Amino acid sequence: MQTQRLRIAIQKKGRLSKECQDLLKRCGVKFNMMGERLVVHAENMPIDLLLVRDDDIPGLIMDGVVDLGVIGENELEEVGLERAARNEACEYIKLRRLDFGGCRLSIAIDKDADYSGPQDLNGKRIATTYPQLVKRYMDDIGVKFTTCMLNGSVEVAPRAGLADAICDLVSTGATLEANGLKEAEVILRSKAVLIQSTEAISDDKQALIERLLTRMQGVIQAKE
Ligand code: PRT
Ligand code: ZN
C-alpha cells in the first residue's frame, strides 16, 4: 500500500530507540512521541514513524510495507537468512551504517573451560536467539553442533544444564562475567543501520530520502 508520506520503522522501546529518535530530530524531523501510538506523524515533513518491536523491522522492509527502517545488523542478518531459507523476500538496500547500537555476537563458554579454538566447540549444544547466524558461522568453519533456541535468558542456559555454550550479544562483557562465562569466538560485529525497501517509490519520496541521508552524514560527522 503506497502512501505519499515516507514511512520509517523504528524500535518503539529498547536500546536503539532513543538514539534513533535523537538522530531523526538532529536531521530536522520534528515529531512528538506521546502515548502508545503505533504511528507518529512528523510535523514539518511528509514522514510517518512506525514504532514497533525491532524483530518486526527487517520483515516490514523486505515485504515493502515501510520505506525505511533502523535496525541492528544482527537482527537484520538473522531475519534475512531465516526468510531466505523459507524462500520469502529477503532483499533490502543498506543506506548507511550508523554510529550507535554497537555490539558483537559471540560464542561464550564456561570461564574455566580449556579453549584453544573453534574445533573445541565440536558436538556442543549452543543456546542462542540467533540460530541462523550460528549455523552460518559453524558451517563456514566446518564444526558440527546442535542448537537450543531461547528468546531470553540465554546466558543462564549453561548453568541451568540446557546447553554447553551460548551465542549472544555482548557489549561490555559484564553479563558474561556475571554468569561465569567467557567469550570464545566473535561471529559478527554489529551496529545499527539505516535500510531501505527495494520497492519502487515516487521521485518525491526518493528525493526526501536523499535529503535525509545528506543531513545524517552531516550530523554523524559533526559528532566524530
Ligand atoms: O522489545 P524489542 O524486541 O524491540 O527489543 P529487544 O529486547 O529485542 O532488543 P534490545 O532493545 O535489547 O536491543 C536492540 C538492539 O540493540 C540489538 O538487536 C542490538 O543490535 C543492539 N545492542 C547493542 C544490544 C546490546 N548492545 C546488548 N548488550 N542488544 C542486546 N544487548 C544485551 C545482550 O543480549 C546481553 O543480554 O545486553 C546483554 C549484554 O550486555 P553486556 O554489556 O553485559 O555485555
Ligand atoms: Zn526484539
Residue from 19, 129, 171, 194 whose mutation best tests the ligand 1 pocket (most atoms within 8 A of CB): 171
Is the ipTM above a cut-off of 0.90?
yes
Q: What is the CATH number of the domain that holds 107?
A: 3.40.190.10
- Domain residues for 112? 103-189
pLDDT tens readout for residues 25-82: 999 999 999 888 999 999 999 999 999 999 999 999 999 999 999 999 999 999 999 9
pTM (predicted TM-score): 0.96
Residues 204, 97, single domain; the answer is yes
Residues 24, 78, single domain; the answer is yes
Ligand that comes closest to the CA of residue 183: 1
Distance CA 216, CA 27 (A): 6
Residues 55, 115, single domain; the answer is no
Q: What is the pLDDT of residue 194?
A: 98
Residues 137, 204, single domain; the answer is no
Question: Closest residue (by CA) to atom 32 of ligand 1?
Answer: 169
- 72 CA to middle of ligand 2, Å? 10
Q: What is the pLDDT of residue 223?
A: 86
- 133 CA to middle of ligand 2, Å? 16
